[in-house]
A and B are shown apart, each in its own frame.
Chain A
Amino acid sequence: MLDILVLRGIIAVFLISAVSATVGSFSIFRGSTFFVSGIAHGALAGAALGIFIALTFFTVDYLVVALLFAILFALAIGYASHRNENVDVAVGIMFAVSMSLAVLFLSMIREYASVAWGLIIGDILLLSQADIEILVVSVTFIVLIFLIFFRKFLYVVFDSESAEASGLHVFRYETLLFILMAVGVVSLLKCVGAILVYALLIIPAAAARRAFPTVEGTIAGAFIIALVSGLFGIGMSFVVNVAPSSMAGLFAAGVYALTLFRK
């Protein structure tokens, strides 16, 4: 019989793949993949702050604080980009600010820092029932919003000037897209960790766009590559005793490498 933790891990892989297909694909389309890794670190600072607040003031779920922090991060980047700042530069600056804050908060929570460190590595085979519930809610939210605004997002990302000229509120949709990216990243933190969020969000979509260069192909391909990578990671963790996310990340990178050799 399947262990409940393994079952949760498998469910999580499916949900992560949906985030990869949506958030991951649009990060590739928008060319803002650095944003994803930046926001993962922003969330880390938020988690450390959350733990600090819980220890000294009142009880609060540190993932909620991480989410708020990541959304704040996303809004700041969205605003900077709206004011004509290069997104990569804005992310770089926020990245530095987040890491400084993360180090600051981590040093304030000393003995509990290990909880925050858990978010750096993550473990898909240690998810609680509550973790899965949070994941289901946030992934449903992400997918729903993408379904509703799919063609608006495409227009805004493809040709923001014409989209604006046609009356779409580009700033609003860009901000919404940034927020979805933030939610996606935070919901993955516990599963794959801040370091490897990039591996499972971005690499599948990057590989898929090379292998199936259409919008639908990228989205479907990203889902499948993320799914196979995740399941491979869990499977391998039984064969050799290593963290599943590391194997998943390497597998996804391998698929990407294969797409480079194609043609």
Chain B
Amino acid sequence: MPAISTENLTVQYGDYYALENLSVEIEHPSLVVIMGPNGAGKTTFLKALLGLITYSGKIRIFNKPPQEARELIGYLPQRDTINMNVPLRVKDVLLLPLTSRSLSIKKEYVSLAKQNLSRVGMAEHWNSKFGALSGGQQQRVLFARALMTNPKILILDEPFSATDVKTKMSLINMLHQLKKEMTILIVLHDINPMVECTDRVLLLNKKLIAYGQVSEVINEENMAKLYGTHIPVIQRGNVCYVMGGDRHA
């Protein structure tokens, strides 16, 4: 059974089409990277899968509609959706997804939270104030939070937008481990550090541009379709690298 399948998924904001007729099937378990220019509808796609917005067409998450599949998904939103006026501690950020459902904080929640926090290398920040952490540290905490419900699907919206290279590498290592048993959807602007653990790439610009393995999808023709400009791509064995630098402009 595929983890996710969509048929003719279309999302409109007013009379603006953010997504048009998107049909894909995502195998379980696998790691899928979603790429596309700003405003391409990447976040919109994820929100539709999470049942956060109205859409037309069909979505199935393990054969269920999104509203019935919520407990199967862990979600790391883009960081700008979080309200920093709430002076939460790191431990509360981790515990909220579980404790917001019940009246008390159970012991096993706490040990699960501690475990997930050390997985992202933030164990010593258990009692820290979330708002006082750096952007990259906050993203690591949110990453750990997404794991709290033991989801079968992990949805990550630009998780590395504020992390340093070392953090990024350790999180990618974690994804390598997690993808053995989870389906991971991850929105990225730079696929290069992840080409080796990526199973499928989904190129999206309102419509599906391409969907397939890295070596099939990442080429200059598709990059030109996606970004509307020439972007050099180099191939090295089975992997490809997108060169978005000034030397190649």
Inter-chain residue pair count (beta carbon < 8 A): 79
Residue-wise interface mask of A (202-227) relative to B, using a CB-CB cutoff of 8 A (1 in contact, 0 not): 00000001000111011000000000
A72 at the A/B interface (Cβ < 8 Å)?
no
Q: Give the shortest distance, in Å, between A144 (CB) and chain B (any CB).
A: 13
Q: Given A158-B96, A165-B51, A165-B73, A214–B129 Cβ distance below 8 Å?
A: yes
Q: Are A154 and B87 in contact (CB under 8 A)?
A: no
Q: Give the shortest distance, in Å, between B31 (CB) and chain A (any CB).
A: 20
Q: Are B86 and A158 in contact (CB under 8 A)?
A: yes
Measured between beta carbons, the chain B residues less than 8 angstroms from A166 are: 70-71, 75, 97, 100, 149
Q: Which residue of B lies closest to A147 (CB)?
A: B103
The residue that A154 contacts in the complex, of B88, B129, B145, with Cβ under 8 A, is: B88
Q: Are B100 and A28 in contact (CB under 8 A)?
A: no
The residue that B75 contacts in the complex, of A31, A154, A162, A217, with Cβ under 8 A, is: A162
Number of A residues whose C-beta is below 8 Å from B?
A: 27
Measured between beta carbons, the chain A residues less than 8 angstroms from B36 are: none
Q: Are B77 and A159 in contact (CB under 8 A)?
A: yes
A77 at the A/B interface (Cβ < 8 Å)?
no
| A166, B51: Cα distance in complex, Å | 10
Measured between beta carbons, the chain A residues less than 8 angstroms from B82 are: 158-159
Measured between beta carbons, the chain B residues less than 8 angstroms from A29 are: 83, 85-87
Q: Are B86 and A154 in contact (CB under 8 A)?
A: yes
Q: Give the shortest distance, in Å, between A35 (CB) and chain B (any CB).
A: 13
> Which residues of B, 24-61, contact A by the 8 Å Cβ criterion?
47, 50-52
| A168, B71: Cα distance in complex, Å | 11
Measured between beta carbons, the chain A residues less than 8 angstroms from B86 are: 29, 154, 157-158, 215
Q: Given A162-B75, A165-B70, A214-B129, A155–B85 Cβ distance below 8 Å?
A: no
B190 at the A/B interface (Cβ < 8 Å)?
no
Q: Are B81 and A154 in contact (CB under 8 A)?
A: no
| A163, B93: Cα distance in complex, Å | 12
| A164, B149: Cα distance in complex, Å | 14
Q: Are A215 and B88 in contact (CB under 8 A)?
A: yes
B168 at the A/B interface (Cβ < 8 Å)?
no
Q: Given A214-B129, A215-B92, A163–B87 Cβ distance below 8 Å?
A: no
Q: Give the shortest distance, in Å, between A189 (CB) and chain B (any CB).
A: 26
Q: Are A157 and B149 in contact (CB under 8 A)?
A: no
12 contacts between A and B (CB under 8 A): A154-B100, A155-B100, A157-B83, A158-B86, A161-B77, A162-B77, A163-B100, A166-B71, A214-B87, A214-B88, A214-B89, A215-B87
Q: Apart from A151-B100, A166-B70, what are 19 other A-B pairs with CB-CB below 8 Å?
A: A30-B83, A30-B85, A31-B83, A154-B88, A155-B96, A155-B100, A157-B83, A158-B82, A158-B88, A160-B83, A161-B47, A161-B52, A163-B100, A165-B51, A165-B73, A166-B97, A214-B89, A215-B87, A218-B87
